[in-house]
Amino acid sequence: MSDTEPKGPTNFIEEIIEEDLRTGKYGGRVHTRFPPEPNGYLHIGHAKSICLNFGLAEKYGGKCNLRFDDTNPTKEEEEYVQAIKEDVRWLGFDWGEREFYASDYFEQLYEFAVKLIKKGKAYVDSLSAEEIRQYRGTLTEPGKESPYRNRSVEENLDLFERMRAGEFPDGAHVLRAKIDMSSGNLNMRDPVMYRILHATHHRTGDKWCIYPMYDFAHGQCDSIEGITHSICTLEFEDHRPLYDWFLDELEIYHPQQIEFARLNLSYTVLSKRKLLRLVNEGYVSGWDDPRMPTLSGLRRRGYTPEAIRDFADRIGVAKNNSVVDVALLEHCLREDLNRRAQRVMAVLRPLKVVITNYPEGQVEEMEAVNNPEDASMGTRKVPFSRVVYIERDDFREDPPKKFYRLAPGREVRLMHAYLITCTDVIKDENGEIVELHCTYDPETRGGSAPDGRKVKGTLHWVSAAHALDAEVRLYDRLFLKPDPDDAPEGQDFLANLNPNSLEVLTGCKVEPFLASAQPGDRFQFLRHGYFCKDPDSTDEMPVFNRAVALRDSWAKIERKQASS
């Protein structure tokens, strides 16, 4: 969004922000944050939150912090911190100097807790975790007060200090807010603020053995950083009264929590816990497996940051949960790559064709358009010679009706080259077709006949003498059902894994143009889809991932909607 063309609010969060700007609620400031927990890699759902938070800061001339929500030392790792930073940068966002960690504020949070104890608003409880659960009550039954609830301020201060000093084992005590055990909102029934955890933290090492809970950390971190609009997903709506309670009782600067609907995508799981299982249990090759909905997986698959940002724009921001069709995400990538991707010819399942009347040893350089959508990308030379490969599927000995490609006696066009006619089919002793003999018409250079005769089929090809060998990996959806969690009784999402989500083709033949391709470069393989060179590539064997096929089911849905 540009500064010169101010647009009005495009969603309810922008409406809130514009109202706050009008009334001067935060002195005209807009300051958001993206708060990932470094316990996994970012996925496409996080991308929605990143685009929203950084996008709002950009649109309203504000700031967006990157804050690691690192309050759980047992699940968090430095590896994830690095991966998250790389992914946010790759998406095209910049947090400047504002890289923060909840752990930076552990001392301050401790002081806040002491303040609440002194106000009589927090107490050390010595019930076990199980007892705390039982005392909590249910949605229909009020909770029961802990026998430790009325400890004196002095005793609480003493115990809390000794918790910090490491005098007690894990689970011996917790610090709880003293709110209301009969509240209709379970989050308000004396929530736990601190727990004892003798664990090494990836940043603070062994300095702490008590760690704040998410609910006690998050709002206070927002407050310390001067966040204006603290945007989170809908599950936290019931936590907002608690978010407000802590800030009000602490009498500190008070940001506004706003909830929006998280992204759900068909045929995809977006829970880090489930993604972690796919990785740890070996169902995929890693967090960046091209079938994963992680940003690193999508990047390796061939997704562009532009396509993902466009997707985030199109799905918008709403207040109610829904499931977005994964076909829309694929559509956004096709649109982007259609505009930008270099076209090349690649034969995935080769069939040898000998052009019997073409001079042995002759090579012609055929001119090929690099991208019909963008003339500025120019043309390239593609070598043509006596032996070429075509796609095995592009020949049928007994062509069915409407099969317009090559067949015995039939003439077709080799794209950018000549018209050829099939004269002979050569088979091995098992009756398998091993090669075709064709003749070419030298008058048809470039692919059209001077006498105006038409051919229906146009095939891509590569010159056998010039082709590079390649491996191609074709991907299908990782799950068979739109809702992977819809599993048979007693089973989970893993029951819906698609056993055929990866097909590896070896012995592919690609244009010599691809010799200079680098891992991460994206191409359209004519008639096959968009492909991205994989980092597994070696000098001898480049590997290409299919990002997305050419057939666009989303465009079809849109056309249908438009015509009805």
Residues that bind ligand ATP (CB under 6 A): 35-37, 45-46, 48-49, 69, 232-233, 262-263, 270-272
Distance CA 65, CA 85 (A): 12
From the CB of 88, what's the least distance to ligand ATP, in Å? 11
- Smaller CB distance to ligand ATP: residue 49 or 146? 49
- Smaller CB distance to Mg ion: residue 218 or 528? 218
Q: Which does 394 bind (CB under 5 to 8 A by kind): ligand ATP, Mg ion, none?
A: none
Q: Which does 271 bind (CB under 5 to 8 A by kind): Mg ion, ligand ATP, none?
A: ligand ATP
From the CB of 265, what's the least distance to ligand ATP, in Å? 8
Cβ neighbours around 160 below 10 Å, total: 22
From the CB of 281, what's the least distance to ligand ATP, in Å? 17
Q: Which does 32 bind (CB under 5 to 8 A by kind): Mg ion, ligand ATP, none?
A: none
Both structure tokens of 64: 């967006």
Q: Among residue numbers 10 through 49, which ones bind Mg ion (CB under 5 A)? A: 37
From the CB of 56, what's the least distance to ligand ATP, in Å? 13
From the CB of 475, what's the least distance to ligand ATP, in Å? 21
- Smaller CB distance to ligand ATP: residue 68 or 123? 68
The alpha carbon of residue 555 and the mean position of all alpha carbons in its chain are separated, in whole angstroms, by: 21
Q: Which does 46 bind (CB under 5 to 8 A by kind): ligand ATP, Mg ion, none?
A: ligand ATP
**207: Cβ contacts below 8 Å, ≥ 6 apart:** 106, 201
- Smaller CB distance to ligand ATP: residue 323 or 550? 323
Distance CA 166, CA 160 (A): 10
How many of the chain's residues bind Mg ion (CB under 5 A)? 1
Q: Which of 479, 489, 30, 427 is nearest to 227 (CA)?
A: 30
Both structure tokens of 399: 């062509």
From the CB of 269, what's the least distance to ligand ATP, in Å? 9
Distance CA 330, CA 310 (A): 11
Catalytic residue, chosen from 136, 262, 274, 277, is: 262
DSSP states along 190-205: S-EEEEE----BTTTB
Alpha-carbon dihedral of residues 317, 323, 328, 332, nearest 10 degrees? 40
Q: Which does 35 bind (CB under 5 to 8 A by kind): Mg ion, ligand ATP, none?
A: ligand ATP
Residue nearest to ligand ATP (CB): 45
Q: Which does 67 bind (CB under 5 to 8 A by kind): ligand ATP, Mg ion, none?
A: none
Distance CA 333, CA 308 (A): 8
Both structure tokens of 126: 């010595």
From the CB of 38, what's the least distance to Mg ion, in Å? 11
**237: Cβ contacts below 8 Å, ≥ 6 apart:** 259
Residue nearest to Mg ion (CB): 37
Q: Which helix (H) or strand (E) holds 131?
A: helix 129-135
Both structure tokens of 232: 């989170």
CB distance 67 to 100 below 8 Å: yes
Q: Which does 31 bind (CB under 5 to 8 A by kind): ligand ATP, Mg ion, none?
A: none
Alpha-carbon dihedral of residues 368, 369, 371, 372, nearest 10 degrees? -130
Report the amino acid identity of residue 113: A
Known catalytic residue at 240 = no
From the CB of 49, what's the least distance to ligand ATP, in Å? 4
Q: Which helix (H) or strand (E) holds 331?
A: helix 326-340
Q: Which helix (H) or strand (E) holds 532?
A: strand 529-533
The alpha carbon of residue 42 and the mean position of all alpha carbons in its chain are separated, in whole angstroms, by: 7
- Smaller CB distance to ligand ATP: residue 39 or 285? 39
Angle, helix 78-91 to helix 305-315, in steps of 10 degrees:
80
Known catalytic residue at 352 = no
- Smaller CB distance to ligand ATP: residue 10 or 271? 271
Known catalytic residue at 262 = yes
Both structure tokens of 103: 């752990």
Write the interaction track for Mg ion spanning residues 50-89; mark x where CB under 5 A is met and - where it is not: ----------------------------------------
Catalytic residue, chosen from 67, 178, 189, 272, is: 272
- Smaller CB distance to ligand ATP: residue 73 or 542? 73
**398: Cβ contacts below 8 Å, ≥ 6 apart:** 407
Catalytic residue, chosen from 18, 37, 155, 249, is: 37
Both structure tokens of 428: 């091995």
Q: Which does 263 bind (CB under 5 to 8 A by kind): ligand ATP, Mg ion, none?
A: ligand ATP
Distance CA 288, CA 304 (A): 15
- Smaller CB distance to ligand ATP: residue 42 or 333? 42
Active site residues: 37, 262, 272
Q: Using CB under 5 A, list all residues that contact Mg ion.
A: 37
